[in-house]
Amino acid sequence: MMPLSSERGVFARLSVAAIVFVTAAMLSACASTQVADESGTPDPYEDWNRKFYAFNDALDKAILAPAAHAYVEVTPAPMRRGVNNFFDNLAYPEVFINDFLQGKVEQGFEDVGRFVINSTFGLGGLIDFAGGLGFSRNNEDFGQTFAVWGFDAGAYFDLPFLGPNTARDASGIPPGTVTNLLFYANSFVTFPLGLLKIVDQRASLDSAIRIRDETALDPYVFQREAYLQRRRHLIHDGDPPPDDLYTLEPIR
């Protein structure tokens, strides 16, 4: 494992985290007056969001996409898989914490098991050893938990550097950050690892972004809709009430 900062540093960071968490929860509660639903999509900040979308897209085309493509070019697939597993594992505490917060106790214990097995036998997460033993990789985060707790999605935001979000999902970013073990690493490692993580994430998003660029007439709208639907799918753990999600009636 990576060197951890001093104990005092950890406590300082945790108290910052607690403050951020509470603020975020309050923000989420306030934001819930504006509901973004799938059909009408009230997107009250569309003008700003489009500006940030253009900014992110330019940044992606200039730096991130070329970096990710070069990364895919020079590293063999098994190595990329390892890197991907490693970052997934560092972020996995967020998954099991949110299992428990959503009351999925059994899945929570399984995910703790998955994390422990991969951190040890899986060589610090490089190998998805637990996956081979039948522990599936689950997708949970604080944004999903807030949804399960009954908070509305709030307005849609396309945030600079961070991309698509709702007020609810954005409130999940601070607690998500502090439950990622990368946050507690020595800053000498955090920076290069953080860069690698960004490149790794961009590489895994590559096919989705290619589909967007190939098929979207209005890429901003396309990305917004895809994001909102994907999130709803994850909140329902891939099994949403069919009539709720696949409504086909003409709108307005």
Partner 1 sequence: MRKVVRFRWFPGLSAAALGALLFACMLPGTARAGSTTPAETVDRLHASLLEVMQDADGLKFTGRRERLSPAIRASFDFAFISRIVLGRYWGELSEDDRKRMVDTFTELTLATYASRFDGYSGERFQQMEITPMSRGRMLVRTEMVRPGKDTVQLDYVLQEENGKWLIVNVVANGVSDLSLKRADYGSILKSQGFDSLIARLRTQIAELGGG
Between 158 and 185, whose beta carbon lies closer to partner 1? 158
Question: Is-contact 142 23, C-beta < 8 A?
Answer: no
Residue 136 C-beta: closest distance to partner 1, Å: 10
Residues making contact with partner 1 (CB under 8 A): 38-39, 41, 214-218, 221-222, 224-226, 229-230, 232-234, 238, 240, 242-243, 245-246, 248, 250-252
Instruction: State the CB neighbour count (10 A cutoff) for residue 217.
Output: 6
Residue 1 or 251 having the CB closest to partner 1: 251
Please give the Cα distance from 178 to 186 (Å, whole number): 14
In the complex, least distance from residue 224 CB atom to partner 1, rounded to whole angstroms: 8
The minimum distance between CB 198 and partner 1, in angstroms, equals 20
CB of 97 to partner 1, least distance (A): 23
d(CA 164, CA 45): 12
* 90 versus 235: smaller Cβ distance to partner 1: 235
Toward partner 1, which CB reaches closer, 24 or 203? Answer: 203
- Identify how many contiguous H helices and E strands the chain contains and give both numbers: 14, 2
Residues in contact with 6: Cβ distance below 8 Å, sequence separation at least 6, in sequence order? none
d(CA 120, CA 125): 8
For 217, how many CA atoms within 13 A lie in the half-sphere containing its CB?
Answer: 0
Task: Tell me how far apart the alpha carbons of residues 234 and 166 are, in angstroms, rounded to a whole number.
Answer: 14
Q: Smallest gap, in angstroms, from Cβ of residue 252 to partner 1?
A: 6
Nearer of residues 10 and 213 to partner 1, judged by Cβ = 213
